[in-house]
Chain A
């Protein structure tokens, strides 16, 4: 393999990995605070992408305004989803809330089919994000340069919020012991809503950036990325934000580099992601950066 080819593969892997990392952060945040694997995360991702698309298509808003509005509407939607589907089950066994998440996922997907139609829609990507940038022999799409920047900025901001602010302290308290936190005067409902709002905002951002990179919307577009980013979060240690970023990059790299070195196996790309998951679960079930925990539903 020539150096140019290798560099191109590396660039592809970085682009994909940072996208996975961004979405995995949202998954892991919600798990960290609530011990809930939000299966509807992939569908919130899809909603964000659709809302940004419609902001542009129906209301002719400038793309950055459409993006910002989509983020906030999806965040509110996430908060609403938590209120309706998860809060009533907070005192039930963990498995009930997980089943509710699966149900919510199906509901959102099928509502999207009814509301938006099953046929895929092409996205009008804003020109500055749709240009090809060439670094010598390596070509990348400009949005692929923006995504890693977003991921690392969000990582830094989130780490600061969780470790350096009072809200973050409340989040860590709720994560450690929800009843004790309530007794200490933490408004648990507010913390949970904030977590969900932020998680959904991140999912929406991931969705919109995904739709700029792969400009095709369809109501089930959240399924595969949702599963892959869930794998990324688990690999990195679910509940750990740095772990999610690590997991995302790792997944992106392994997926693309295996195809780079073994192109005959390109049809098995997704299989590599799942094999990686199985390996990590066998060797280090808490994930690469995760801490040991007794039970994880």
Chain B
């Protein structure tokens, strides 16, 4: 009985320690990103942008009080189920005012119903699948959406690569990949005026490492171009294995390829691959771009990725919305975000439409000499 009493006392003390948290004095922004798992590379890049913005603009003024902005990072582990939990933690336990993220449309979509129910606005940074914001008043994004991105790449395939036949390799368990593949396919068929110009659509799953079977099939079809929208983790291996099988066809992809890991893993194999993305440091668009680039180069001594610029922008949009709403009420903040018009972001001017999407221009890059190199910009 005595031992039980001691255990009970210890337990109570532990509880008191945990519950005696200090009252929050700052405004909390939830950063909802994959920090581990397959998409950790992308998540880390976005967090870099958000953290940089937090360093440059650490406070927000409401009324005559200057509140420090505190970042709460919640790891969604690149997993849809964990994403729902991570988002729930942010809105319930941490009581954040705004959620920023996630890299990976599937993960953002998993959090969608949760932020909607909790009435906390969320700003997607680089998730491009239209379903993230469709029908969800509380989800916005500072980037373009896939119907546009698919068209951009289809245009490139037809006009620059002069392709007439294409094969699509997609990650069937990833909404982004499936969505973008569909938009590309529709656009490609329309541009080539040939309903049969997509020779095949081959699938793989998240986490797969062996694509030899699918690629051997591609070899059989012998297309002019291969569109493989998928996360950098699998795509680097897809391109490498394709080259190993002797497939010399050009590879086209989407914005998820722009991470250092893509070149680190793919090495010589990914030379010459072309993909669309949001921002190129060679082409700074607004004043904010210059501020962002200077700060980033000073801190990290290298060039930033596009999604880092978007992370920077997401933070700024959220902060500006709170200042415009002059309130810490999440519903009012949401309304202010929805009214964002001509906001100068690092990755371009941001105006959110009735769905909460931004109409931005796309940048096409390639891998040359082991580095991401800018090719051209495409206006919406």
| The stretch of B3-11, B196-204, B334-342, B346-354 that contacts the partner chain | B196-204
B318: min CB distance to chain A, Å:
25
Q: Is the CB of A5 within 8 A of B40?
A: no
B37: min CB distance to chain A, Å:
7
B199: min CB distance to chain A, Å:
11
Which of B200, B204, B236, B244 sits near A139, CB closer than 8 Å? Answer: B244
Cβ contacts under 8 Å, A218 to chain B: 38, 40, 233
Which of B37, B173, B213, B243 sits near A12, CB closer than 8 Å? Answer: B213
User: Bound state CA distance, A15 and B210, in angstroms?
Assistant: 11
Cβ contacts under 8 Å, B208 to chain A: 269-270
Cβ contacts under 8 Å, B243 to chain A: 132
User: Bound state CA distance, A119 and B260, in angstroms?
Assistant: 10
Which of B236, B246, B265 sits near A132, CB closer than 8 Å? Answer: B246
User: Bound state CA distance, A125 and B245, in angstroms?
Assistant: 17
User: Bound state CA distance, A246 and B274, in angstroms?
Assistant: 42
Q: Is the CB of A121 within 8 A of B219?
A: no
Q: Is the CB of B202 within 8 A of A263?
A: yes
Q: Is the CB of A270 within 8 A of B233?
A: no
The verdict on B172 contacting chain A, using a C-beta distance below 8 Å, is yes
The verdict on B117 contacting chain A, using a C-beta distance below 8 Å, is no
Cβ contacts under 8 Å, B204 to chain A: 266-267, 269
Q: Is the CB of B261 within 8 A of A12?
A: no
Which of B203, B245, B267 sits near A122, CB closer than 8 Å? Answer: B267
Q: Is the CB of A119 within 8 A of B216?
A: no
Q: Is the CB of A216 within 8 A of B207?
A: no
Q: A118-B37, A120-B265, A122-B267 are in contact. Are A266 and B216 (CB under 8 A)?
A: no
Q: Is the CB of B216 within 8 A of A122?
A: no
Q: A122-B267, A218-B38 are in contact. Are A267 and B244 (CB under 8 A)?
A: no
Q: A8-B219, A122-B261 are in contact. Are A214 and B213 (CB under 8 A)?
A: no
User: Bound state CA distance, A84 and B158, in angstroms?
Assistant: 61
B106: min CB distance to chain A, Å:
15
Closest B residue to A267 by beta carbon equals: B203
The verdict on B212 contacting chain A, using a C-beta distance below 8 Å, is yes
The main secondary structure of chain B at its interface with chain A is: helix
The verdict on B181 contacting chain A, using a C-beta distance below 8 Å, is no
Q: Is the CB of A259 within 8 A of B213?
A: yes
Q: Is the CB of B233 within 8 A of A216?
A: yes
Q: Is the CB of A267 within 8 A of B261?
A: no
The verdict on B193 contacting chain A, using a C-beta distance below 8 Å, is no
Cβ contacts under 8 Å, A263 to chain B: 200, 202, 213-214, 217
Which of B40, B245, B263 sits near A119, CB closer than 8 Å? Answer: B40
Q: Is the CB of B40 within 8 A of A118?
A: yes
Q: Is the CB of A12 within 8 A of B41?
A: no
Interface residues of A in 226-278 (CB under 8 A from B): 255-256, 259-260, 263, 266-267, 269-270
List 21 contacting pairs A-B, 8 Å CB cutoff, sorted by A.
A5-B216, A8-B216, A9-B216, A118-B36, A119-B44, A119-B261, A120-B41, A139-B244, A141-B244, A218-B38, A218-B40, A221-B209, A224-B207, A259-B217, A260-B217, A263-B200, A263-B217, A266-B203, A266-B217, A267-B173, A267-B205
Chain B interface (Cβ < 8 Å from any Cβ of A)? 35-38, 40-41, 44, 172-173, 200, 202-205, 207-210, 212-214, 216-217, 219-220, 233, 236-237, 240, 243-246, 261, 263-267
Chain A interface (Cβ < 8 Å from any Cβ of B)? 1-2, 5, 8-9, 12, 15-16, 113, 117-123, 132, 134, 139, 141, 214-216, 218-221, 224, 255-256, 259-260, 263, 266-267, 269-270
Taking A263-B214, A269-B204 as known contacts, 19 extra A-B pairs with beta carbons closer than 8 A to each other, sorted by chain A number, are A8-B245, A16-B210, A120-B38, A120-B40, A120-B265, A122-B263, A132-B244, A132-B246, A139-B245, A216-B233, A218-B40, A224-B207, A224-B209, A256-B212, A259-B217, A263-B213, A263-B217, A267-B173, A270-B205
